Structure 1
Amino acid sequence: MHTMWKGTVSFGLVNIPIKLHAATENKDVKLRQLHKECQSPIKYEKVCPVCEREVEQQEIVKAYEYAKNKFVMLDEEEVAELKKENTDKSVEIVDFVKLEEIDPIYFERSYYLSPNEGGSKAYVLLRQALQDTGKIGVAKIMIRSKEQLAVIRVYQNTLVMETIHYPDEVRNTVDVPNVPEEEETVKKELDTAKMLIDQLTTEFDPGKYQDDYRNALLELIEERKNQDQVATAKDKKKPDNVTNLMDALQASLDKANKGTGKGTGKGKTTKKKTTTSKKKASTNNKTKKNA
């Protein structure tokens, strides 16, 4: 199992060297977008709508939009310094509470904790203490540039850390539209609803639930593969170096000719006009003399 973070868990004077592992994985079937004409994957570019050109990574800066099209620019070094100050690779348990006191709406993501070198004894101590007291630990940790609130509990003989939302990240229920106020229910209807709940009540077995859409989509994909209904993206046409060289030489020649007037026809035209004027003048003089 991949280790994504190393540090310590501390409560009181006890420090436990631990490793952090993702406890869950996203198994969504990811579909790519292709150009229908040539079956090539669509490329997304970072483009400035004002300059109308692609922007390189070194040209991009971070900012906070405090109002519509109003930004506070942030220096990368300042942000990095703030991260450094808050990233001490430690999980400090600040409180112990009962699990049932935390509503599931607060829970975000789960991570397994395993003991690092020399941490087994303290790991077992915390696990046993949590099991015996029926409590969970509330802690703070810095993960991926964000300070997270978390709880540590025991799950199947393993310590699990669950990141949870801060209170201001959970929206207020009073803002939910069209929620009906308390209304008197018909007793017969309520009794029927309770009876239905009783009939469908069982012990929770996670193995009985499956993602039917994902399974059906994977079956369809496998069926298309077996029927050879596949597409192969075409390789991007590589530029011809010889052609590019000729284009560059021609462009250089055209640029040089513009400076001298060659190749434009302007110099020759002027010369022709001058010669023609001289011929006309000479003819007129001869005509006058003969007259």
Structure 2
Amino acid sequence: MNIAIAGTGAMAMFYAYSLKPLSPTLIGRRYRPFLVTESDKQTLLDPPFVSWNDAADTPWDVIILAVKWPAMPLVQQLLAHQPNECLIISLMNGMGQEAALIPPLSPQQLACGLTTNAVTLSWNKHHRLPEATVTARGETTIPLMPHPLIPFWKETLDHIGWSWRFLPLEAVLRARWVKLVQNSVINPLSVLANTPNGALPDLPLWHLMPDLIHEARMIAQTAGIVLPSNLGEKVTQLARATAPNISSMLQDVRRHRPTEINAINGYLVQQARAHGMHLPTHEAVIALVDRIASNPNV
């Protein structure tokens, strides 16, 4: 099976590590060997690599999207050249992948899932290599799609002892909404506080959490999604469970890279406006994160 992982960031490194027996190829702008550290075990990886342009000319069986939203134009260019039988598994943050990728993909090709693994990227000074550290082991979930490669993909993962969850589409969509809301709280607030996840619940800034969840719940309902009644408690538990983790949004800000705020909080605001609604807390958080991202010294 010809497998590609689109991306060379922390999550792409994690999937290259976890799917190593399948010899996946990384796709990106630039590449160097990297380390993956989990439970004090450090692994050096040097998987095959191709550029975005070269990858577009290669017919892939499975492409895992482990990139951030600013790379979406490159993803669209890559997928426009893929055969109809190619299975695309999107594990990107936020929502809106379907609108961005269908077409050129057919609905049967695109499996939008989610991961609850937490990985932080850093620079290992001793080895002079990038290092992806798994700070919280979670699950990877994708929907049961009417695609011929889904059963084969599940069997292949079981064979290498790396089981993903395969759930009905409705269940995965609800889980994606739950993760979206969790990210819409933890990610931007970690940027505003410039702190790891675990410190957030003890800060006055955390008082924004109930309003952020309330506003997101209203938008979820317009999509027919009923979120858990105790979601606030779950978000607090998640922040504490991933205490040492530096959120991906804060990592982006610290590296002076574009954030995914528009695919997370911005998606909620966009959906609200489409229904004649406003989300003042999310709108304020977006403005503040954008200001910090454009001037990290603020």
Q: Give the TM-score taking structure 2 as reference length.
A: 0.19
Structure whose CA Rg is larger: 1
More strand by share: 1
Q: Give the TM-score taking structure 1 as reference length.
A: 0.19
More helix by share: 2
